[in-house]
Amino acid sequence: MKTPNPNRPNSPLEPPKQRHNPLHGLTLETILVALISHYGWPELAERIPINCFCNEPGIKSSLKFLRKTPWARTKVEGLYGFMLRDINRSQPDN
């Protein structure tokens, strides 16, 4: 068995660092819950008009849809990034 080379950047035992990716390490459920707590279901449905947010919204059904639909997941992840930037802009500099 080969021992991994620690100097090799793409070692299979150590994923590449993603310091500037705000989605790294977050689950889709975590992202969705954060969006719901920040915007609420009605505003979320207004910003991303898809049925799982408009008609009888729920986390479980929304996750099921988002996992099967890449374009919708991309919109949710984009809105999450926008929400983080908006929150960071509104905080005063210390």
Task: Please write the tens of the pLDDT for every residue from 42-54.
Answer: 999 999 999 999 9
- pTM over 0.75? The answer is no
Fold of 28-88: 1.10.720
* Residue among 36, 24, 25, 26 at smallest CA distance from 61: 36
Where along the chain do its domains lie?
28-88
CB-CB contact of 31 with 39 (8 Å): no
CB-CB contact of 6 with 13 (8 Å): no
> Tokens 């080969």 map to which residue?
2
| Three-state secondary structure call for residue 94 | coil
- Which pLDDT tens digit goes with each residue over 4-34? 555 555 545 555 666 677 677 788 999 999 9
Identify the helix (H) or strand (E) that includes residue 87: helix 70-90
